[in-house]
Amino acid sequence: MTRRYHGLVLSDNDTRGLRDAMETAKNPAEDFPHLHHVKAIGQHADLLAAVRAAIAAHAPDLPDTAFSCRPSSQGQYQAVTVSLEVHSHEHLTNIYNSIKRIDGVILCL
């Protein structure tokens, strides 16, 4: 089954992943530090550079290999994934909030 979210078509696997991510965010007893993958989806001319700039304050020494970017199948959206070590629930929340403030970001997982 698929669902639409801000014009994106999400499969059950995507929505399950979203639910899991939301549950994880609600559970501050999670073990820290740990490797976390943050994904931003949006319509921004250079979403990769914008995400790098937003994360720089929270994880300044991330290598280029920590970032990946790919366009949607029709080229309307970009998806940027960042793999980084988070040290606390507050650290993770601050990263998500910084990415959500980027103009054109419609979904942050």
Three-state DSSP at 59 gives coil
Judge if pTM exceeds 0.85: no
Higher pLDDT, 40 or 13: 40
Strands (E) across the chain are located at 2-5, 8-11, 34-42, 67-71, 78-86, 105-108
Instruction: Give the CATH fold of the 31-108 domain.
Output: Alpha-Beta Plaits (3.30.70)
For residue 103, the Cα-to-chain-centroid distance in whole angstroms is 14
User: What pLDDT, on the 0 to 100 scale, is given for residue 3?
Assistant: 58
Task: For residues 52-73, give the mean pLDDT.
Answer: 96
Task: For residues 38-66, give the mean pLDDT.
Answer: 96
Q: Is the per-residue pLDDT at 24 higher than 60? A: no
The domains of the chain are located at 31-108
Q: What angle do CA 106, 93, 61 make, to 5 degrees?
A: 95
